[in-house]
Amino acid sequence: MAGARKPFVPPPRWDDERLEKDRRDSTAQFRAYRISEPLADYLRQFDEAQSEFQKLLAETADLAALGERAIEVLTNPSTLNAVRYLAGPPISLDDLKVLADATLSKKDLRADPEMALRILETVLIGLDVKRFPWLQDSRAPTPAERSAAILASAALMATQRVATRRRNLSKEEQEGRVREALLARGLREVPRRIAAKLEDAPKAGEFCMESLLGSRKADLLVGLWDGRTLPIECKVSNSAVNSIKRLNNDAAAKARSWIAELGNLHVVPAAVLSGVFDRGSLKAAQDSGLTLFWAHDLEAAITWIEETREGPASFALSSPPLPRPAP
């Protein structure tokens, strides 16, 4: 019948051979990046951490005057970080606030000296006596003990900072690549939003960065040309075991939630993957209703989005290629 709506273009479902190829390509790219990753970042973080611990020990008479300098130490971000690393293992800011029943705002600390002492006491309960043996013995450190404590603490802090930065940057870079790919193909970026209902989601040809869809957040929301909504999760995994958490326990769980809340005729949950993924996890996630794309082949994702405009076509052959990310 003239004017009848065209049927929805189904999202791609990859066979075992294609899943295995993409899995291997992604793992190879991850391996190449990690092997060539520069040492400079760690060394920079180490130097900063070393300065922070030197400052803490200098200002507290090798920690003997820690209680007397509680306010000054805790209201300075660099020495506050060093204090958290006196414990073994280090205590996160969030855990410290809960364990000490305290806040870490400068105003509150200056107004409540007892709270500041309580924070220090909480840290010292877990004092790493291997790094700071002189505190346990109530004596001054030897030069060798002081030097060893600073070096070991700086290495510990630098390692954790690099790992955290690596996780955050990988995800941010991946989201940025997807954003650039969408813009390159003419989709329009609109403000982030709370899309409790489908009508609040981006319209056809629009997308927004991290937003709420239904009851769950998505890293990006894309308005497909046929009126459906494409929530995208960007997942980076550094091991097959880690991929179960990233993919199955997170992205696939969100997919099931969106489909249950909004219906599979209105929403197409997807994930863009990079790194190392377990073969079985990929198949299980796809079987749960999650559409899989890869950061090393964003062309496949953009081509399918364009197919929702007019149905399957040779769009990829007639459009300029996407810039491929460097490993």
151 within domain boundaries: yes
CATH at 212: 3.40.1350
Whole-angstrom distance, CA of residue 164 vs CA of residue 184: 30
Mean pLDDT computed over 144-165:
93
Q: Token pair 């690393």 is at which residue?
A: 85
195 within domain boundaries: yes
pLDDT at residue number 84: 96
Radius of gyration of the chain (CA): 25
77, 190: one domain: no
pLDDT at residue number 311: 55
Mean pLDDT computed over 152-158:
96
The domain boundary, picked from 133, 163, 193, lies at 163
**Cis omega (within 30 of 0) for bond into 89:** yes
Give start and end residues of each alpha helix (H) in the chain.
16-36, 40-59, 70-74, 77-84, 93-99, 106-111, 113-125, 133-136, 143-184, 240-243, 252-262, 279-287, 298-310, 315-318
105, 20: one domain: no
The domain boundary, picked from 100, 133, 163, lies at 163
For the chain, what is the domain count?
Answer: 2
pLDDT band at residue 238, thresholds of 50, 70 and 90? confident
In the predicted model, is pLDDT for residue 325 greater than 60?
Answer: no
Mean pLDDT computed over 116-125:
95
64, 26: one domain: no
325 within domain boundaries: no
29, 44: one domain: no
Coil, strand, or helix at residue 65? coil
273, 218: one domain: yes
5 within domain boundaries: no
Pair of tokens at residue 134: 């002189």
The domain boundary, picked from 130, 163, 196, lies at 163
| pLDDT, greater one: 295 or 39 | 295
Residue 272 near residue 298, CB atoms below 8 Å: yes
pLDDT at residue number 323: 40
Q: What angle do CA 227, 231, 235 make, to 5 degrees?
A: 155
194, 306: one domain: yes
Whole-angstrom distance, CA of residue 172 vs CA of residue 179: 10
pLDDT band at residue 321, thresholds of 50, 70 and 90? very low
Residue 83 near residue 116, CB atoms below 8 Å: no
Q: Which domain holds residue 144?
A: 40-163
Which helix (H) or strand (E) segment holds residue 30: the answer is: helix 16-36
In the predicted model, is pLDDT for residue 5 greater than 70?
Answer: no
6 within domain boundaries: no
pLDDT tens digits for range 196-212: 999 999 999 999 999 99
pLDDT tens digits for range 60-96: 999 999 999 999 999 999 999 999 999 999 999 999 9
84, 207: one domain: no
pTM: 0.68
